[in-house]
Amino acid sequence: MNTIEPAKIGQPSEPGEYDDGMQALLQIIWGDGFLSPGGAAEVARLLEGSDITGCTLLDVGCGLGAIDELLVREYHAASVVGIDVDPSLLAGMQARIERAGMTGRIRGLQVDGGPLPFADASFDVVFSKDSLVQIPDKPAIFAEVLRVLRPGGRFLASDWLRGGTAGYSAEMMEYFRLEGIAYNMATLAESAEALRAAGFNAVEIRDRHDWYLDLAQRELEAMEGSLNSVIVHRIGPERARHFIDNWRQLVVVLKRGELRPGHLKAVKAA
């Protein structure tokens, strides 16, 4: 069973954090190929007012690639390069895009951290769905995003953010332990300021706390009820109990306001 030590906070994500059991559980909750909250509906919400038709996209933290397929198929992106640290997730992505017949428009690339391996002004849009939380150095990644965007290019992201800047509570530390993945959280305001400091214009933020508190409570109810037998069958009773405990703690920290998912949008000057 995955665990996380306090020292892991402030460290980058590592391959293997999303093991087979976690991947199976998250897809039961959020949909085939989705490893972040809300599935396709929350992607639609993030993209509201942002036409990406004909755009070249970079997806930071692409996971299993369902979002990349969606960006091309439903939102008519010209192409997507998805990057992730985990080769097993990228293998799942590759299988997915091959089944979808999209290998000419979507590709995955393993990137282990540091500067992005792309030339300046390579993309029209940089997209990220709940993956920046696993990157400790926000100023560095925002500077890299700005660099690889073309003039006038857009940054469209959602992320796991925090409420307040005090030390983490015991409840939050227990949530981190149960989650078993890296967490490097800023507040919405800190994220907006970091984007401006990197050189972005037209910075917009949207607090998604109330939406996810309601959704997480309904997810927990389903995990304990209608979805329980499916989850136990897929990942076994021990892992099922672990993830239900995980979701209970998720609801606790959401109710406390310590975990506050949000949207971040910004534009590179033309």
Q: Is residue 244 part of a domain?
A: no
Q: Is residue 218 part of a domain?
A: no
Helix, strand, or coil (residue 149): strand
d(CA 153, CA 202): 11
Q: What is the pLDDT of residues 3-38, one digit of tens each?
A: 434 435 666 777 878 999 999 999 999 999 999 999
Number of domains in the chain: 1
pLDDT value for 198? 98
pLDDT value for 79? 98
Q: Is residue 99 part of a domain?
A: yes
Region 230-238 average pLDDT:
98
Beta bridge partners of 156: 127, 265
Q: Is residue 219 part of a domain?
A: no
pLDDT value for 4? 39
Residue 256 in contact with residue 174, Cβ under 8 Å?
A: no
d(CA 138, CA 144): 10
pLDDT value for 1? 39
C-alpha angle with apex 67: 61 to 73, nearest 5 degrees?
Answer: 140
pLDDT value for 17? 87
| Residue 109, domain extent | 10-166+184-210+260-267
Which CATH number characterizes residue 141's domain?
3.40.50.150
Q: Is residue 172 part of a domain?
A: no
Region 53-62 average pLDDT:
98
Q: Is residue 251 part of a domain?
A: no
Q: Is residue 128 part of a domain?
A: yes
pLDDT value for 14? 77
Q: What is the pTM of this model?
A: 0.94
Q: Is residue 150 part of a domain?
A: yes
> What burial class does residue 45 get, using C-beta atoms within 10 Å of its C-beta: 0-12 exposed, 13-18 middle, 19+ buried?
middle
d(CA 127, CA 154): 8
